[in-house]
Amino acid sequence: MIIVSHIIIALISVILSALVFFKPKKSTLYTTYILTALTLISGAYLVATTHASMTAACITGIVYISIVLIGLVPAHNKLKVNSKI
């Protein structure tokens, strides 16, 4: 059950990352932060409990974080610029 939750949370965070990239909102940005953290925590739990390959998990995690950050960093910067005006 944890693996299904892990996959669903990861997919939702990638989708929200894309949405926040195009239409930045603080609430969506914070939700994506939380979902990303939950994905990393559940991934670490899965690796620890199933004795999965650490190398494969780390590579997949780096790819996942890179994809999410492509949406989050520009959205964060847009919100920071808009709040100064």
Q: Where are the domains of the chain?
A: 2-84
pLDDT tens digits along 9-55: 999 999 999 999 999 999 999 999 999 999 999 999 999 999 888 88
Candidates 37, 36, 49; CA nearest to 2 is 49
The residue with tokens 């949405």 is 19
In our burial notation (b when 16+ CB lie closer than 10 A, e otherwise), range 7-40 reads: eebbeebbebbbebbeebeeeebeebbebbebbb
The pLDDT, as a whole number, for residue 53 is 87
Amino acid at 49: T
pLDDT tens digits along 59-84: 999 999 999 999 999 999 998 877 76
pTM of the model: 0.88
